Structure 1
């Protein structure tokens, strides 16, 4: 049980990062016609 208490913050951090990555990837694909063109767009 003590090991689970130690691993809980690490697991939460990994899951949180994965969720944020999914949201960003989904938003990128949704708002762009061609996601591959994203790196060619020069942001001012």
Structure 2
């Protein structure tokens, strides 16, 4: 594992994979719902 992080290389690699597999494509006629998580807890819960 590399000691440094090279974001451009990683992003280019995965953008190519997603494009080849049509991962980011969607059908405009297909409906969907996106669940948004609750806000982060910044204090104690109890």
- Shorter chain as denominator, the TM-score bin is 0.3 to 0.5
* TM-score, normalised via structure 1 length: 0.40
**The structure with more helix, counted as a fraction of residues:** 1
Structure number, greater radius of gyration = 2
